[in-house]
Amino acid sequence: MHKIVTYTEGVPHSVAAQIGQLAQQNLTDLSMLGVPPSNSFYPMCQYTLSTEILMYVSRVGELDEEAPVRLVVAFADEVRKNVIGFVLYLPVINDHKACGLTYMAVASGHRRKGVAREMMAAVAEECPHIELTCFINKVPVYESMGFYVIGYRDTQIVLNNRTDSSSGEMAALWTDPIFESPECRQIQSQLVQKHGLKIMRDAERKLERLVDELKRKAEQFVSARAEQIVEYRRPGATVVEVAPGRFKLQDVDGIDCQSSRPQPARTQKI
């Protein structure tokens, strides 16, 4: 029987290492880029994503007042040796009953066994107001857990287990230093040596086109649900789309279905 543990202070190195591996194995679902394994940038994206997640893990229990980070881990059994899932979330500053779920993954052999639902319940024990983003294909999973679609952010759909976001802010990491690090540049150089500059530039263009397509689909998905989104936010209201991702309620205040703090999906330049 799996065991769910919430970390509010130092995370063991062995646990952190397994989380990094699990992040790399689930890159396509976790990255805002949705980068597929077939893209030549995949190994570099694995590095940047796992590095970002491990930076968050290292912050668990540190800077709790100004930049709180929490981690929920699912273990295969009571021994707490084998990690089969994790959730990273950031409590909202000045509103610690709300949080943003930054990353969640479950090992492929342990899905559809209630692991994600139990980890989410552990998050809700501390922060009952939860917001997250995911790709369109994962929306039904979170809707089954009681989440509502409230907008889109870049390539992903924004969901909340209430009908509005918290008004507070979260202390998210600035990730540019990861992309500019010597380690990242070394991986990039190795990929160019392995595949050639032409193939890598082609991979870059493909990734940019994919991101553009994902953004377009996210916008279309939310636009198609505009009436529904407004209905459960303000029953009886009529909505009119005045710009992409922007909806105005007739005879009431406008409501922006796109996040006010968007985080751009970033592709690496060579």
Share of the chain above pLDDT 70, in %: 85
pLDDT at 264 over 70: no
pLDDT, tens digit, 9 for 90 and up, residues 144-177? 999 999 888 999 999 999 877 887 788 888 888 9
Contacts of 252 (CB under 8 A, 6+ apart): 234, 237
Do the domain assignments include residue 22? yes
Do the domain assignments include residue 64? yes
Looking at the structure of the chain, the number of domains it has is 1
1 pLDDT band, cuts 50/70/90, is confident
Tokens linked to 6: 């919430």
Of residues 267 and 214, more confidence is placed in: 214
CA dist., res. 87 & res. 70, Å (int): 8
Do the domain assignments include residue 117? yes
Do the domain assignments include residue 78? yes
CB atoms within 10 A of CB 138: 16
Do the domain assignments include residue 26? yes
Residue 205 identity: R
Do the domain assignments include residue 256? no
Query: Residue 78 has what pLDDT?
Result: 86
CATH number (domain holding residue 35): 3.40.630.30
Most confident of 95-104, 204-213, 239-248: 204-213
pLDDT at 68 over 80: yes
Q: Helix/strand/coil (H, E, C) string of the chain?
A: CCEEEEECCCCCHHHHHHHHHHHHHCHHHHCCCCCCCCCCCHHHHHHHHHHHHHHHHHCCCCCCCCCCCEEEEEECCCCCCCEEEEEEEEEEECEEEEEEEEEEEECHHHCCCCHHHHHHHHHHHHCCEEEEEECHHHHHHHHCCCCEEEEEECCEEEEECCCCCCCCECCCCCCHHHHCCHHHHHHHHHHHHHHCHHHHHHHHHHHHHHHHHHHHHHHHHHHHCHHHHHHHHCCCCCEEEEECCEEEECCCCCEECECCCCCCCCCCCC
Of residues 67 and 106, more confidence is placed in: 106
Query: Residue 76 has what pLDDT?
Result: 92
228 pLDDT band, cuts 50/70/90, is confident
Q: Are 7 and 119 in contact (CB under 8 A)?
A: no
CA atoms within 13 A on the CB side of 248: 6
58 is in which domain, residue-wise?
3-132
CA dist., res. 207 & res. 69, Å (int): 30
Do the domain assignments include residue 252? no
Give the predicted TM-score (pTM) of the model: 0.83
Do the domain assignments include residue 24? yes
